Amino acid sequence: MSDAVSRRRFLAATAGAFALSPVLAACGGGDEGGVVAANCEGYGALTAAELQQRAALNYVDVTPIPGEMCSNCAFYEAPAGGAACGGCQLFAGPVAPGGYCTGWAAATA
């Protein structure tokens, strides 16, 4: 037996840790820079690959960069029917309007 961690096990653990980050941020409802996290639901329905894509783009429910948030991103899909969270063209699952990922691009008017 080797003490080395397999690549698959490492990626699964990493994806899981990153996947929980937005859930924990949403549950806390914290306020960073005047942006309050929306309580987004639906992470449990995502596949491991979908969670990994979100993690690869470093998605968080509360933006760390003032002025750069999902609601003013070119890839953001506004929520329908009064829902708190929208979507994104870059990855699956719920997206908080005040969230952020490294795929952020300014929306054009």
Bridge partners, residue 36, by sequence: 31
Question: For the residues 25-34, what does the mean pLDDT come to?
Answer: 42
Question: For the residues 100-106, what does the mean pLDDT come to?
Answer: 97
- Higher pLDDT, residue 28 or 89: 89
Amino acid at position 23, single letter: V
Question: For the residues 86-91, what does the mean pLDDT come to?
Answer: 96
Query: How do residues 39-75 score in pLDDT, each as one tens digit?
Result: 788 888 999 999 999 999 999 999 999 999 999 999 9
- Higher pLDDT, residue 36 or 18: 36
Mean pLDDT rounded to a whole number for the chain: 78
Instruction: Enumerate residues 6+ apart whose C-beta is below 8 A from 69.
Output: 35, 63, 97, 98, 99, 100, 104
